Amino acid sequence: MKRRLARECALKVLFMNDVGSNNPDEALRNVTGNGDGQKMMLSPRDQEFCAALVQGVVSKRNELNSRLAPYLINWQLERLAPVVRNILQMALFETLYMKDIPPAVTINEAIELARLYQDEESSRFVNAVLDRIRLSEEGRD
């Protein structure tokens, strides 16, 4: 099952919520086709996945930020590009709370989103941060 488009949708909604303080439910409706503007056509299953990511990240944003901070060597979360910050939050949420998705898949998808919406340097940064988290989490098992 390909969820990349659903992840892109979630990233757009999370960005709108983070940067523009938009209501996440309203932003989700706008991005997925129940509002005005450019729409992302998602299957019902992908819409559920997108909504779960958005709701999960929004509800756990403070916890996710606290867990990310130690892995941002020489960086502060609020100084990251908003797209990168939201990609990291989304990937960490997937890793911690969506156990049916292998961490390697989550990391790869986050890297691809960073490459698509930022640049190669950002994708390497996302990879490094998420890989440090993955290694740390594996060490706890």
Tens digit of each residue's pLDDT (9 = 90 or more) over 121-131: 999 999 999 99
* Cα distance between residue 29 and residue 129, in whole Å: 31
Tens digit of each residue's pLDDT (9 = 90 or more) over 31-78: 887 544 456 678 889 999 999 999 999 999 999 999 999 999 889 999
Answer whether residue 141 shows pLDDT above 90.
no
- Confidence (pTM): 0.90
Domains by residue range for the chain, with CATH: 4-140 (1.10.940.10)
Angle at 112 between CA 88 and CA 54, to 5 degrees: 45
Answer whether residue 89 shows pLDDT above 50.
yes
* Cα distance between residue 136 and residue 139, in whole Å: 5
Q: What share of the chain is helix, strand, coil (3-state, %, to 5)?
A: 75, 0, 25
